[in-house]
Amino acid sequence: MAKIFVYGTLKTNLHNNYILKNEANGSSQFDGKGVTSKQYPLVVATKYGIPFMLDAEGKGHHVLGEIYDVDDKMLGKLDELEANGVLYVRTPIDVVASSDTTVQCETYLLKSFVNSLLDLPFLKEYKGQLKYIPPNERNQSNVLEEVKGQVMAKQ
């Protein structure tokens, strides 16, 4: 089992939490709430209202989220949703759990991003503040490339 820290649409009662609840995707168990031990910028960007935690440690806030224990099958499903290695990169970070213990979790960070994202308001917690459009409601055929073009730095 791996520990995953989720800060956006995978959180309880938000658009993509159903993925963690669907046993066909693998096993997941809610382990409690948590907060990043270091500060990160959490922003909402693109016309789809997607939350991104930027790999810019020391800027932003200590981000509030949830910790889950997931098996390899669920981890693969989450990697697919987050376009791991293409858009986000699953990265180990330290998270302070509700028990006040620090645990290492993996989370999805946007590593290579356009600097203009640092001009957006930084959130302490994502609660679906802006209109999020789930993947199944995006009717373009190449949404990933479109999103990458809006948020990622040219390599």
**Cα 143 to Cα 139: distance, rounded to the nearest angstrom:** 8
Report helix, strand and coil shares of the chain as percent, to nearest 5. Answer: 25, 35, 40
From the list 132, 151, 4, the residue with the least C-alpha distance to 70 is: 4
Pairing of β 2-6 and β 28-40: unpaired
Which residue do the tokens 């790999």 mark? Answer: 55
| 82 noted as active-site residue | yes
* Cβ–Cβ < 8 Å for 32, 67: yes
Catalytic entry in 82, 137, 145, 146: 82
Q: Which residues are catalytic?
A: 82
